[in-house]
């Protein structure tokens, strides 16, 4: 999935932040329903959130909702003040063996973002 229309507000000046969200996941018993995801993502439009905080909040909410085996969220924020920000966060379910999914990009803390 790719969500190119994510918006929230910067908590300091209140200006809008725009980002593309890219969630990748390995489901367990549940999957993400796209209309629900769209409505959830829209709920951030008037919220003042820092980039790192909102990325982690979205990942945590999605993990809580569907309990995936693995989830990785990349948030690519558009330029502000001459700086592009990319935030990544991931969840790995206890007992999930990444070796079973060689095509899935599991990131170590020191690994580059795709």
Catalytic (active-site) positions:
10, 17
pLDDT tens for each residue of 2-33: 999 999 999 988 999 999 999 999 999 999 99
Number of domains present in the structure of the chain: 1
Report the CATH number that the domain containing residue 60 is assigned in CATH: 3.30.1130.10
Q: DSSP labels for 24-77?
A: EEE-SS----HHHHHHHHHTTTT-B--HHHHHHHHHHHHHHHH--SEEEEEEEE
Domain with 32, as residue range(s), is 3-97
Answer yes or no: is 20 within a domain: yes
Tokens of 15: 């200006």
- pTM of the predicted protein model: 0.83
Answer yes or no: is 104 within a domain: no
pLDDT at residue 99, rounded to an integer: 61
Answer yes or no: is 14 within a domain: yes
pLDDT tens for each residue of 92-104: 998 887 665 545 4
């Amino acid at each position: 999935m790719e969500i190119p229309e994510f918006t929230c507000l910067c908590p300091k000046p209140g200006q809008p932040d725009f980002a593309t969200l890219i969630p990748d996941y390995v489901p367990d018993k549940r999957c993400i329903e796209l209309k629900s995801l769209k409505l959830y993502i829209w709920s951030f439009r008037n919220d003042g959130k820092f980039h790192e905080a909102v990325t982690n909040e979205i990942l945590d909410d999605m993990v809580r909702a569907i309990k995936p085996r693995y989830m990785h969220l990349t948030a690519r924020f558009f330029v502000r003040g001459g700086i592009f920000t990319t935030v990544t966060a991931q969840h790995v379910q206890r007992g999930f063996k990444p070796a079973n999914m060689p095509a899935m990009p599991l990131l170590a803390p020191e690994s580059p973002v795709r």
